[in-house]
Structure 1
Amino acid sequence: MTELSNTYIVSDEQRRFYDENGYLVIKGLLDFATLYNYKRRFLQICKGTVDRGVIILVKETSLKNKGVTGENLINKLHDIHYDEVFMTYTEHPRVVNVVSQFIGPEIRIMNSMLINKPPGSISHVPHQDLYYFPFRPIDKIIATWTAIDDATLENGCLYVVPKSHKQGILYPHENSIGASRMYHGIKNAVLQEPRVNLEMSPGDTVFFHPLLVHGSGANVSKHHRKCITVHYASEHCEYIDVRGTVQDVIAREIEDEAKRRGLNLSFEEAWQIKSKSVTAPSKL
């Protein structure tokens, strides 16, 4: 097997596609062995055979009352970027190198998750990631989403609404019926452009804009759909006060969640305290 280099240079054509559509899929960015380590770590944490540290386990709400356990119940691992195994993704040279070409070399990891979509999982309604973030500017934030398993229409692959970021609008969101806490979706979403389903193979990685409208389908297959995802921001981003804006509801929810965990933190402080600096590799 040919070893992948630590860098991946985004072409001018790829950059234009991202700027125009709000997302870019890079095929085979990561190798199978790397992905297998993440799947194995996820299963270890589900079984409780390793210390999960600060990682938060989130259960699939729609499956809680159906008697399923372990891998068949866990929807996501949240805040994985301090774990010794998962940090090899959040700080992976190839991933960070691509990120640096969009937001610059001085980077912070703001949010990280391993998402597991067990059979029977419901859809994730259209939403925008910026809704959750109290930092700006917008063009200095980017998300990565790498398929660990095959992502198909049947098992609930991502979908995106191309060009939806170009409106420059952060839409009002609301709680999604039947979904886990803080899974908010756009209110009365009227999307002019058609959705594009992103069916992806393991190692394929999509990079997308924080205003891009996106979601995922229900898993009606008999197999799991795992991915690993991170939100990065430039070290030069600044925190803003979102009180009285469309982000007010989620800000209060996150502050309430911090209190439930014994922490008296503002919305902004909650993001500051968990973020982590990462260094982009030099270009060869």
Structure 2
Amino acid sequence: MAPLTDEQVQRFHRDGYLVLEGIFSPQECERMKQEIGKILEEMDVPSHCRTEFSTQHEDQLHAQGNADYFMTSGDKIRFFFEKGVFDEKGNFLVKREKSVNKIGHALHAHNAVFKEATHKAQVQETGRHLGLKKPVIVQSMYIFKQPGIGGEVTPHQDATFLNTEPLGRIIGFWIAVEDATEENGCLWFIPGSHRAGISRRMVRTPPGTFPLTEFVGKEPKYDEDQFVAAPVPKGGLVLIHGEVVHKSEQNSSPNSRHAYSFHVMESEETKWSPDNWLQATPELPFPSLFT
């Protein structure tokens, strides 16, 4: 891969996102899919922790067991499920491998295949060309967008959930493990929206209270006409500024839309908010992107 051009860097800073094609080979993408298949085969999730993932706070953290499972996932590999895949007793209504919304949040640390993808030389070079000095990896996720049931992700800013002081220090690296099209739920962005700051934050509540997080501020309603689709073929990489507004639609197609995503923070002269749901642990300090 050739280094980012000056024009591409300028476009990223102008629009808040950038699509790069051909960063990962078909073989690398298939290796990630096969590894996820192995992880799913070994999936063992307690029934009370069969969490339906949603960007809606009241759905995401609707019970103490589920809340703890989510809040302590930053240094582990855990499973989060689509809506409607369990009956009232927590039994699967669909095949187990088709039930998962995402796996997070430390694949980059605990799995060799995803650690290799995260630290791929071209990824590191991309970070350097964006001007990153001391980037650290704060989380990673494998996102499925299951055929027919893959839920929408409502408009949001990543900095709502991963807040830094000052702002502008979070970048998402979103890898298309499969083709991401308008039909199966590709990303949509409001170009330039990262320059307006953030509208809300998800913060920890005081110890001993429930729910364990709450939102401060309110997500505004966005004009749908402002969003621009960002389809990307298998092996492509989408760079996402932490404050750019983006979304994805429900996958109503027969084709899945697998993606591997991780977020990095420029740690130089940056404070990671102690109010963030995700915190580094003694077992897993945020590792450097550069090796």
TM-score, normalised with respect to structure 1? 0.77
Alignment of 1:57-72 (within 5 A): 57-65=79-87, 67-72=93-98
Calculate the aligned-residue CA RMSD, in Å.
3.0
Alignment of 1:69-218 (within 5 A): 69-78=95-104, 79-82=106-109, 83-119=111-147, 120-167=149-196, 169-172=197-200, 187-191=219-223, 194-218=226-250
Displacement of 1:204: 1.1
Structure 1 runs, 4 residues or longer, greater than 6 Å off: none
Displacement of 1:73: 0.5
CA distance in 1, matches of 2:137, 2:35: 20
The answer as to whether partners of 1:103 and 1:141 remain within 8 angstroms in 2 is: no
Pair 62,97 (structure 1): closer, same or farther in 2 beyond 3 Å: farther
CA distance in 2, matches of 1:192, 1:150: 23
Residue of structure 1 equivalent to 2:3: 9
Pair 270,171 (structure 1): closer, same or farther in 2 beyond 3 Å: farther
Residue of structure 2 equivalent to 1:225: 257
Residue of structure 1 equivalent to 2:287: 276
Q: Match for 1:45: what amino acid?
A: I
Displacement of 1:241: 4.8
Secondary structure of the residue aligned to 1:133 is coil
CA distance in 2, matches of 1:272, 1:16: 38
Q: Which ranges in structure 2 are unaligned for 5 or more consecutive residues?
A: 45-74, 203-211
Q: Match for 1:154: what amino acid?
A: E
CA distance in 2, matches of 1:121, 1:136: 33
Secondary structure of the residue aligned to 1:222 is coil
- Out of 76, 80, 88, the residue aligned to residue 54 of structure 1 is 76
Percent of aligned positions with the same letter in both sequences?
25
CA distance in 2, matches of 1:274, 1:75: 26
Q: Match for 2:289: what amino acid?
A: V
Residue of structure 2 equivalent to 1:260: none
Residue of structure 1 equivalent to 2:47: none
Pair 139,188 (structure 1): closer, same or farther in 2 beyond 3 Å: closer
Q: Match for 1:12: what amino acid?
A: D
Displacement of 1:212: 0.3
The answer as to whether partners of 2:161 and 2:201 remain within 8 angstroms in 1 is: no
Residue of structure 2 equivalent to 1:248: none
Pair 186,151 (structure 1): closer, same or farther in 2 beyond 3 Å: farther
CA distance in 1, matches of 2:259, 2:272: 30
The answer as to whether partners of 1:62 and 1:121 remain within 8 angstroms in 2 is: no
Most deviating of 155-164 and 53-62? 53-62
Q: Which ranges in structure 1 are unaligned for 5 or more consecutive residues?
A: 175-180, 244-250, 255-266
CA distance in 2, matches of 1:35, 1:96: 18
Alignment of 1:239-250 (within 5 A): 239=271, 241=273
Secondary structure of the residue aligned to 1:41 is helix
Secondary structure of the residue aligned to 1:76 is strand
Residue of structure 2 equivalent to 1:31: 25
Residue of structure 1 equivalent to 2:67: none
Q: Match for 1:47: what amino acid?
A: E
Q: Match for 1:63: what amino acid?
A: V
**Cα deviation per residue 1:145-204 (whole Å; 9 max; x = unaligned)?**
11111111121111111110112x211268xxxxxx98x896242348611111111011
The answer as to whether partners of 1:140 and 1:237 remain within 8 angstroms in 2 is: no
Q: Match for 2:261: what amino acid?
A: T
